[in-house]
Structure 1
Amino acid sequence: MKALQNVLMGDLAFFQALIYSLIGLIILLILRLATKKLFCKKCEDVFKDYKRRKYFNNLYLVIYIISLLFIWYKSSSDILAFLGIFSAGLAIAMKDVIINSISGFYILSTKPFQVGQRIEVAGQIGDVIDIGFFEFKLLEVGHRMGGEQSTGRIVHLPNAILFSSPLANYDKGFQFIWNEQQVSLSLDSNWELAKVFFYEILQRHILDDQEEAKEQIASAGSKYLIYYNNLDPIIYTEVKDGKIVFFLRYLCKPRQRRTLEHLIWEDILKEVRGRTDIHLV
């Protein structure tokens, strides 16, 4: 009789803990909703609003986890045995979730990238728009669009992907990339004069960026081994497929690459318009 009573008391304690856990979850969801309505009512700065929401969401989650520990501790007569069995089962059933959560802690602590930065990982390029405990989200660029323009799609990536794929950060340390633009001329063109014109165009468009790049290299040099002998634009010449090909190589900011190519092309077209000694092909 006493054994049966103990079993019934154990079952009652279990169901009480389960009910308290569900009530706590409902309260957590209500608090999240209330916080969102309270702080986002007159929000003008999207970035600050995002950081504020993430802070409160993480705070509520920590409080809920601590509450669960107290709830289930009181419902278990042998907490060590309970945690041992529970942890073993959880590790097997939720291996990927655990790895992703550990990776999430790695991202939040070491900050290999942050919200707003452009990264490339596992063949995906995009601007980071959210970082969570289990996944991060990118606003995709490239793929269906040229010049690394936004596609409008949101890509969800598990945090654990950082442990198996290389990560490229466009905005950390040195915030410029080298870009190459090809211009082809016919073999009978005055390529020497064209090269002078094209170099003047490059200098006109990237002068300000060149100075900023030098400052960034000086600043990043204390932390990263970033070293360039020359940041000036350069034009490489090559003859292939019966034409003269110029490779216009210059520094630019990742998000301005397509705009800069557009402006350079327009200036090139204006420069050669009406000329009989320079022929684009």
Structure 2
Amino acid sequence: MADHPTSVALIRYFVWVVVIIGFVQFLRKLIRKNQPNTDARYKSQKVIEVTGYVFILLLSISYFTGNIKDFALAIGLLTAGITITLQELILSIAGSVYIFFIQVYKPGDRIEINGIKGDVIDIDSIYTTMMEIGEWVSSDNYSGRIVKLSNAFVFKGPVYNYSRDFPFIWDEFNIPVRYGSDIELAKELIVGIASEQLSGYVKNSISDWKRVVERYYIEDAQVAPTLALTMTDNWVQFNLRYIVDYKKRRYTKHLLNELILKAIEETDGKVVLASTTIEVVRVPTLNIEKDHTSKPG
């Protein structure tokens, strides 16, 4: 073995790598077992993981250069050699650093990136892992697929965050009311139900929206439910716009529709929901002449 110093050094190198990885895994398990706070546990595990990568990198440079003083030279040569072939990997690692320091998003946030919408469940040095929402299921429901997306995508397009600064979204739906209905009563019913059911969201969103206005160059907006009327060919269209928790959009819309429908039915015909109708203005007269000419025998 003494006649092959390179082999000995290589074995030592791999032994150290295994020791570092084993120690990192040991610390991760220790933290997972003893740290009850989910956020602190997750961040501590990521710090230990990144620290382990740094030690392995330093160890690798020391082995291949023979001297840690050649760190800058080794990095330069390494970068020149692999930049073209590992562009995506480099961008992914840079993206993870960008996500961490700029706080583009964090685990637990609901985001849309590269056309994929979902809840972030993990962020590592290369990938962001999401629980997908939508696709073949309606509204904001989980599809059941877990998606791994390269962190490089934070540099390639917009990132929509549903929850970072303002955990509420505006939603709306239309209610068609037949002409001849009591419009004032319909307005009173719809606004009253919306205000009652959404009062908690309105109250909690006021302070959050105020912080958004103070932080960004943005106009103030009304967070209380609003109603807009539009006259169409077939009915008066009521457009109800309101603010809601981003995770309860589907349930809230269902609840409002159910309560509004029930309230309208209890008006005894004063307010009637409309449906598409066809009005026949005039039926054209058809002249049918019967041919009495007998056929030759």
Above 0.5 in TM-score? Answer: yes
Kindly indicate whether the alpha-carbon contact (under 8 Å) linking 1:17 and 1:72 is maintained by their aligned counterparts in 2.
no
Q: What does residue range 207-222 of structure 1 map to in structure 2 within 5 Å? A: 207-222=199-214
Question: What residue number does 2:161 align with?
Answer: 169
Q: Within the alignment, does 1:276 sit opposite 2:269 as a pair? A: yes
Q: 1:189 to 1:17 in 2, by over 3 A?
A: farther
Alignment of 1:1-281 (within 5 A): 12-13=5-6, 15-41=7-33, 44-74=36-66, 84-240=76-232, 242-274=234-266, 275-280=268-273, 281=275
8 Å CA contact retained: 2:114, 2:153: yes
Quote the Cα distance in structure 2 between the aligned partners of 1:267 and 1:200. 11
In structure 2, C-alpha distance between the alignment counterparts of 1:215 and 1:63, rounded to whole Å: 45
Checking the alignment, whether the CA contact within 8 Å between 2:61 and 2:71 is kept in structure 1 is: no
Equivalent residues of 2:128, 2:150 under 8 A apart: yes
Q: Is the 8 A contact 2:21 2:52 kept in 1?
A: no
Of the two, which has the highest radius of gyration? 2
- 1:170 & 1:240 partners in 2: Cα distance? 33
Moved over 6 A (4+): 78-81
Q: How far 1:12 sits from its partner (Å)?
A: 4.9
- Number of residue pairs matched by the alignment: 271
In structure 1, stretches of 5+ residues that fail to align are 1-8
More helix by share: 1
- CA RMSD between the two structures: 2.8
Please say if residues 136 and 143 of structure 2, whose CA atoms lie closer than 8 Å, have aligned partners that are also in contact.
yes
CA distance in 1, matches of 2:32, 2:93: 28
Q: What are the superposed Cα offsets for residues 175-194 of structure 1, whole Å, 9 maximum, x if unpaired?
A: 32111122223334333311
Q: Against the structure 1 CA distance between its residues 241 and 128, is the aligned structure 2 distance closer, same or farther, given a 3 Å change threshold?
A: farther
- 8 Å CA contact 1:184, 1:245 repeated in 2: yes
Aligned-partner residue type, residue 222 of structure 1:
E
Question: What is the rounded CA distance, in whole Å, between the counterparts of 2:201 and 2:73 in structure 1?
Answer: 63
When normalised by structure 1's length, the TM-score is 0.84
Q: 1:93 to 1:270 in 2, by over 3 A?
A: same
Unaligned runs of 5+ in 2: 276-297
CA-to-partner distance for each residue in 1:74-108, whole Å, 9 max, x for gaps? 189x8777655433221122111111111221111
Closer, same or farther: CA 206–148 of 1 in aligned 2, 3 Å:
same
Give TM-score, length-normalised by structure 2. 0.80
Cα 1:28–1:55, aligned 2, differ >3 Å: closer, same or farther? same
Q: Decide whether aligned partners of structure 1 residues 269 and 17 sit closer, same or farther in structure 2, where only a CA change above 3 A counts.
A: farther
Shift of 1:161: 0.9
2:292 aligns with none
Q: What residue identity is the alignment partner of 1:163?
A: F
